[in-house]
Amino acid sequence: MEDIQVLIADDEKEIRELLKTYLEREMYKVDMAVNGEEALRLFDTNKYNLIILDLMMPKIDGIEVCRTLRNKTNVPILMLTAKDQEIDKILGLGIGADDYITKPFSVNELVARIKAHLRRFLILGSERSIGSAHEDTLIRYKGLTIDSKKYTVTRAGEEILLTAKEFELLKFFASHPEQVFTKIQIFRQVWDSEYLEDDNTVMVHIRKLRKKIEEDPSDPKLIQTLWGIGYKFVGEKDEA
């Protein structure tokens, strides 16, 4: 793993050093930046396989750094945020981050996510052009476009504002059309957890999502319920 290079950009020294220690244990090469300006400078002079950005940094914040980098590269970008509410801000702005985690966080969880993103990135290949990489992130159905890179959903050119979990839920359904999933299966995939604490969690999020994407939420055509079994996504795929 000596050839894996990671850039950490965070103005908190303790976090930078902690992440560096753990990632170097995985035999990754790690560079660190204390602000957004330094992060961009380092990116222009090095080749990284993954970038970790703090949302709030001096000189240039993580949002602007992410936007700038996403125009140059398709490497995974993970955002660190101080508050849960900032996750929806990240997604709503469509800055192109691949993942996000809130402080304080479990270092082991973050390292696990980093490994997962690196595996996907290395399997897919880093030599794709930015344009083709972006096209691969678009899921289109008649009247509905889901952009998993920018975390945006549009209908007839108008953006539909979704929360973080609503977006992940829709992306999961749209990526597996006509497949039936139980509530537990959905929870494991979208919430990335084995333990479903509240049986209503999935149902509540599906109800909220339907209100935003269905023409008639009381008679849903996209996310359909199979009583006693689960849910499935039904839609006419647009390959254009």
| pTM of the entire predicted model | 0.62
Q: What's the mean pLDDT when you consider all of the chain? A: 84
Does 94 or 82 have the greater pLDDT score?
Answer: 82
| Residue of 103, 101, 102 whose CA lies nearest to 14 | 103
- State the pLDDT confidence band at 28, using cuts at 50, 70 and 90: very high
Least confident of 17-26, 57-66, 114-123: 114-123
Question: pLDDT of 120-158, one tens digit each?
Answer: 777 655 444 444 444 557 888 877 899 877 778 898 888
Contacts of 148 (CB under 8 A, 6+ apart): 137, 138, 139, 171
Residues 6 or more apart whose Cβ sits within 8 Å of residue 47: 5
Task: Tell me the pLDDT tens digit for each residue of 45-92.
Answer: 999 999 999 988 999 999 899 989 988 888 889 989 887 666 666 665
